[in-house]
Amino acid sequence: MREQWRTCAAIAGNSLRLERRAGEALLVVAPFGAVALLLIPMAVGTDVPLLRRLGPGMYWTVLLLFGVLVILRQSSLQSPAQARLLALAGVPGAIAMLGNAVATAVLLVAFGAVLAPVVIMLYDPGMQGWPWFLTVLPGVAIGLALLGVVADSLVRWLDARSTLGPLLIVPLAIPLLLGATQSWQAAAFGASPLPWLLLIVTVDLILFLAVLLAGHLLDVVT
C-alpha cells in the first residue's frame, strides 16, 4: 500500500515538474482567466454595487471554466507510449489517475490563488468570512481535479478531446460550483458556510470512489 502511495506521489511530482518547465497553467491559463474577469464588467456594466454582488460568482465560474483547460492539459502531457510503460511497470490505473489528480488539484489551488487578488481588485467583493475561502478553495480544487481525471481518461487520445472534455466535466461540476458560491454568500450574510463545505467534501469523496472504479475499468484504455 505504501509503495502505491509513493508511486502516486512520484506521478504527481513528475506532472508538476513538467508544469514548472512549461508554465502552461500559471503563465498562460491564469492570465487568460484574469482577462475574462476584466472583460465581464465591460459586458454587464461597471456599476460598483452590481460588481460587488457579481464578483464571487464570477470568480468561481471563471475558476471552473478555465480550470477545465488546466485539467485537460494532462492528456496532452502523456503519450500512449508513456501510459503503456506505466501499465507494463505494474502501476494500477487508479493510482496513475490519483497521481494526476493530486498534481491538477495543486495547480488549481495555485490558479485560484492567482485569480483571487484580481477579483478583489476589480470587483471589490465583501471579505466577510474569508477564512472559509481557505478551506473551500482546496475542496473545490480536489473535486474538479478528481472529476477531471475521470473525464480526461474517457477522452484521452481522441481527436475531439479538447471540445468533448469540457462538455463531460462542466455539467457534473455544478455541485462544486453551488457549494463554493453559496458558502461565500452564507458567510456574507452571517450564516455558517459549514453545510456547503460538507456538500463539497461529500462530492469529493464520491468522486474519489469514482476514480478508484474508473481507474480499474479504464485500465485497458490507458
Residues that bind another protein (CB under 8 A): 150, 154-155, 158-160, 164, 167-168, 171-172, 174, 206, 210, 213-214, 217-218, 220-221
Nearest to another protein of 127, 221 (CB atom):
221
Distance, in Å, from the CA atom of 89 to the CA atom of 92, rounded to the nearest integer, reads 9
**Which residue reads 491559463 in cell numbers?**
29
Closest distance between another protein and the C-beta of residue 23, in Å?
Answer: 30
Distance, in Å, from the CA atom of 204 to the CA atom of 144, rounded to the nearest integer, reads 8
Closest distance between another protein and the C-beta of residue 140, in Å?
Answer: 18
**Which residue reads 480536489 in cell numbers?**
142
b/e string for 146-157 if b means 16 or more Cβ within 10 A?
bbbbbbbbbbbe
Closest distance between another protein and the C-beta of residue 221, in Å?
Answer: 6
At residue 63, what is the residue type?
A: L
Closest distance between another protein and the C-beta of residue 174, in Å?
Answer: 6
- Quick check: 116 and 59 in contact, CB under 8 A? yes
Nearest to another protein of 28, 206 (CB atom):
206
Nearest to another protein of 128, 163 (CB atom):
163
Nearest to another protein of 110, 206 (CB atom):
206
